[in-house]
Amino acid sequence: MKKIFILLTVMLLCSNFSFSKDLFSENQVKEVFKGLKSYSQKTPYSKAILDMGLGKTQEDKIQKGYALRQFKTYEKITALVVVEKKDEGFVIIKAGFLDLNKIKDDKKKEIILNAAKSFKGKLIKENKKTFSKIDAVSGATRYHMRIYATLNLLAKKIIEEMEKNPDWKYKNL
């Protein structure tokens, strides 16, 4: 029984690793960090976050970060958030879903896309202030709440890593 559990755990970890690599290719990662000097990727980042990447400028300052997380709304989908450090603070420059085609119902798809649109361009942490999460609209369904919770979590974790300036191995772009 113990051997089966270990085998299943290893298979699950390996499937998450290959899943995130297939879903978000190296070319897509490089597109996120276009114009920067170097980038680093950590796959998997944690149990909850499949993949995270950070990009540095010519001055070796972290400028952008992205994170991926798989979660269940109407179907199991993968969220992507990209955060950029600007003069005024941290801004979400992209929020979306990599495998939105899993959702067949157009109304459900629209709800998911509208939630993502409400994140794009938002200043979520002003310099030296606390993180400002983006709240779901009043009357939101549990699916809507999960979308907002996931996108907020990804943004918060990206900012934490950007501020830590971790000693990850960076590749030139």
Tens digit of pLDDT for each residue in 21-74? 455 677 888 888 999 999 998 988 999 999 999 999 999 999 999 999 999 988
Q: Which residues pair with 68 in a beta bridge?
A: 51, 80
Q: Look at residue 96 in the predicted model and tell me its pLDDT.
A: 92
The stretch 110-117 carries a mean pLDDT of: 89
Distance of CA 127 to the CA centre of its chain: 21
Q: Look at residue 59 in the predicted model and tell me its pLDDT.
A: 94
Rounded Cα–Cα distance for residues 15 and 58 (Å): 35
| Domain extent at residue 138 | 2-172
SS3 content of the chain, % helix, strand, coil (to 5): 40, 30, 35
Domains in the chain, number? 1
pTM: 0.82
Structure tokens at 115: 């939630």
